[in-house]
Amino acid sequence: MKKPRKSEDAAEPGLFGAALPARPAGAAPGENPKRPLAFSYSKLSLYEECPLKYKFKYIDKIKEEPKYYFAFGNSIHHALEFLYAVKAPPFPGVDELLEAFKKDWGLKSYLEKGYKDPGRAEDDYRKGLEMLRNYYRHHDGRFRLPFLLEYSTDVEVDGLLVRIIADKIEYLGKGEIALVDYKTGKDVKRQPDQLHMYQKICELDPRLRERVHSVYGEEVPGVRIKQMLYYHVPTLKEYTFDRAEDAEIAVFWERVLGVAEKIRGLKYDPTPGERQCLWCDYKQLCPHYYGGRARGAAAAQAPIPADAVEELVDRYGHLREKMDELNAQIEEVKAKIVSLSEGAAAAAGKKYALEIRRSEKWEFRDREAVIGVLNEFDLYQKALGLTLKNIVTLMDDPAVPAPAREKLRRHAEKSHVFDLSLRKKQ
Ligand code: SF4
């Protein structure tokens, strides 16, 4: 049977993988100061995105919808793990590699993987095969036995029990290692934060030192990161980072401890925003959903007889149909007025008068591409709290680099909207 891919979110592991005793029922993380807080990079980034989202996921334990991009990434990771998991060369052939991907892909239906339609899942399946073929071709003849694959460890430090999972670790000798993290999503500029977490934890991990001894027979005082890289499988690009300076790690660690402190203090204030709320699975539960409305708990719970619901549903449907029909007619008449008025600011009939205002409207169809541009130019943090209107403002901001503005414009579509305000004549 296939070994499930490990998750940084595994339920509160004990030191060196042993299970900790179960948390007393109802106890929150801040209530037992003697017990280390289970932590990971995923937790850090989710809390920083929105503390309330963190609470829904990790404290209330409400499951998120399956995400197709995670399912896709997991199958690619699984195939690459299979490729390198030999005791000694030869490595599997390309057909065996593709077979490993197919097998893993076939374990779940497209719905279980998080796809809405089978066509999209089929497209990704073909994309995955192509990606792995390219990977194999690119590295064929240069495969090297890694030191460790899918290395998972839990290290206790500063009151935290931090879990990391490293995709691949190479041993460079004299206690030095290089760490590889595969990425399968969009090719965006990535900050080295996740790698900082790897560096901090790997260098504190006594198990790694023991593994060096058992595999290579070397007694080393400790393990030191020499290099870390994000390997973007779809483009075969490597983004290499040298070992971070101690001062840089210290700043990162202050950030981690700051977040951990807030979690212990049960601080889960929401930080709603267009981007984070759009992709949030908890918006139906969340009264702070950006652009949404608080759902009245009383209204949601009031008992309504079944036949009344039937009648109301039909009435609602009928009214919606009428409204859609009227809206279509209004839009048609409005367009004719605008076109016949030829830029005039007002128009009048016998009974009504209109004021006509013209304004620009921008739309971004490909949100991910826009987020990619913001990342590329380090505007991401700024954008976290930005509305669509403010992203449009960025495009005209001389303080934003010209290439960033140009790229944003490429993803933007401008149209004109006309606002008609109606007045009844006396
Ligand atoms: S909907 Fe928005 S504010 Fe609410 S939990 Fe999700 S991200 Fe946070």
Residue 14 covered by a domain = no
* pLDDT of res. 21: 35
Taking the CA of residue 276 as reference, the ligand 1 atom at the shortest distance is 7
Whether the pLDDT of residue 12 is over 60: the answer is no
Centre of ligand 1 to C-alpha 276, Å, is 7
Same domain, 334 and 347: no
Cα 297 to middle of ligand 1, angstroms: 18
361 shares its domain with 333: no
pLDDT confidence of 35, banded at 50, 70, 90?
confident
Q: What is the pLDDT of residue 8?
A: 67
What's the gap in Å between 116 CA and the centre of ligand 1? Answer: 23
**Does ligand 1 have an atom closer than 6 angstroms to the CB of 54?**
no
The residue out of 278, 312, 338 marking a domain boundary is: 338
Cα distances from 171 to residues 83, 209, 223, 227, 273, in angstroms, run 18, 11, 10, 11, 43
The answer to whether residue 140 is domain-embedded is no
User: How far is Cα 174 from Cα 152, in angstroms, rounded to an integer?
Assistant: 22
Domain assignment present for residue 107? The answer is no
pLDDT tens per residue, range 175-194: 999 999 999 999 888 889 99
The answer to whether residues 351 and 420 belong to one domain is yes
Distance of CA 263 to CAs 257, 266, 334, Å?
A: 10, 5, 53
Which of 180, 145, 163 has its CA nearest to residue 20?
Answer: 163
Please tell me the residue having the least CA distance from ligand 1 atom 5: 53
Residue 387 lies in a domain: yes
Question: What's the 3-state SS for 317-337?
Answer: HHHHHHHHHHHHHHHHHHHHH
330 and 397, same domain (yes or no): no
- 355 plus 420 within the same structural domain: yes
**For ligand 1, is residue 46 a contact (CB within 6 Å)?**
no
Between 387 and 206, the more confident residue is 206
Q: Are residues 328 and 373 in the same domain?
A: no
Q: Quote the ligand 1 centre to 51 CA distance (angstroms).
A: 8
Q: Residue 115: its pLDDT value, please?
A: 92
As a whole-number percent, the residues of the chain with pLDDT over 90 amount to 53
pLDDT-derived band of residue 316, with 50, 70 and 90 as boundaries? confident
- Statement to judge: residues 368 and 388 lie in one domain: yes
Please check whether residue 218 lies inside any domain of the structure.
no
Q: Which of 45, 49, 52 gets mutated to test ligand 1 (max ligand atoms within 8 A of its CB)?
A: 52
- Which pLDDT score, from 0 to 100, does residue 34 have? 67
Using alpha carbons, list the distances in angstroms from residue 3 to 7, 25, 81, 82, 104.
Answer: 12, 30, 11, 11, 10
Whether residue 347 is found in the same domain as residue 412: yes
What per-residue confidence (pLDDT) applies to 295?
A: 38
Pick from 154-163, 297-306, 399-408, 415-424: least confident: 297-306
pLDDT in tens, 288-314: 887 654 334 434 444 555 666 776 777
Whether the predicted pLDDT of 156 surpasses 80 = yes
Is position 330 within any domain?
A: yes
Structural domain includes residue 283: no
Is 119 within the bounds of a domain? Answer: no
CB of 47 closer than 6 A to ligand 1? no
Q: How much is the pLDDT for 11?
A: 37
Indicate the range of 13-27, 155-169, 355-369, 377-391 predicted with least confidence.
Answer: 13-27
Nearest CA to ligand 1 atom 7: 277
Q: How far is the CA of 60 from the centre of ligand 1 (A)?
A: 14
What is the b/e burial string over 120-145, where b = at least 16 CB atoms within 10 angstroms of the residue's CB? ebeebbeebbebbeebbeeeeeeeee
User: Residue-wise over 43-62: b if at least 16 C-beta within 10 A, else e?
Assistant: bbebbbbbbbbbbbbbeeee
Q: Across the chain, what does the average pLDDT equal?
A: 85
Ligand 1 center from residue 354 Cα (angstroms) = 40
Number of domains in the chain: 2
Over residues 114-128, the pLDDT tens digits come to: 998 899 999 999 999
Residue owning the nearest CA to atom 3 of ligand 1? 272
Q: How confident is the model at residue 382 (pLDDT cuts 50, 70, 90)?
A: low
Domain that holds residue 357: 343-424
Structure confidence at residue 32 as a pLDDT band (50, 70, 90): low
Which of these three, 285, 317, 338, is where a domain ends? Answer: 338
Q: What is the pLDDT of residue 24?
A: 37
Between the CA of 278 and the centroid of ligand 1 the distance, in Å, is 8
Residues 316, 358, single domain; the answer is: no
* Predicted confidence (pLDDT) per residue in 77-107, tens digit: 999 999 999 999 999 999 999 999 999 999 9
- The number of the ligand 1 atom at minimal distance from the alpha carbon of 273 is 2
